[in-house]
Amino acid sequence: MSIYTTIDSPLGEILLVGDPVLTRVAFGGAVRPEWRRDPGAFAEAERQLREYFAGERTAFDLDRVSGGTAFQERVWAAVDAVPYGTTTTYGELAASIGVARDRIRAVGAAIGANPLLVIRPCHRVVGANGSLTGYAAGVERKHALLTLEGALQPQLI
């Protein structure tokens, strides 16, 4: 049975799910009826996320299971290797794992299936021209995360 908890963040509520190892991190998200709420289940993940949002943490050290296909796991390992405060493009990421350019859409689909938002930094992957294309939690949150990390300048209003 999966357990879950939610935490507040500067970008909205974050849902943490696992059994008991962390398997999903999402902004908002639906809670399934069969899941059991356990507010203390992911105390370490909560602590590390709070440190990240406070600008005190640049990497996560958490037990986690993502359960993807072999291809997704390859892509996700490459995403995990993108350093804090930097970005990479879909094409550069594909090349880094030896995927042909005609499979960049497959790389993008794998990134879009990332079940561990923020923890696995798929927000650091941008379009070839630097555009902030796609993010499961919304492009506004992607911009905010990259700004927090110093990879983008804050927007002036």
User: What value, to the nearest 5°, has the Cα angle with vertex 43 and ends 23 and 83?
Assistant: 60
The DSSP secondary-structure symbol of 157 reads -
Q: Whole-angstrom distance between the N-terminal and C-terminal Cα of the chain?
A: 46
CA-to-CA distance for 16 and 19, rounded, in angstroms? 11
Helix (H, G, I), strand (E, B) or coil at 142: helix
Q: Tell me which of 122, 126, 137, 148 is the catalytic residue.
A: 122
Whether 122 is catalytic is yes
- Residues labelled as active-site residues: 122
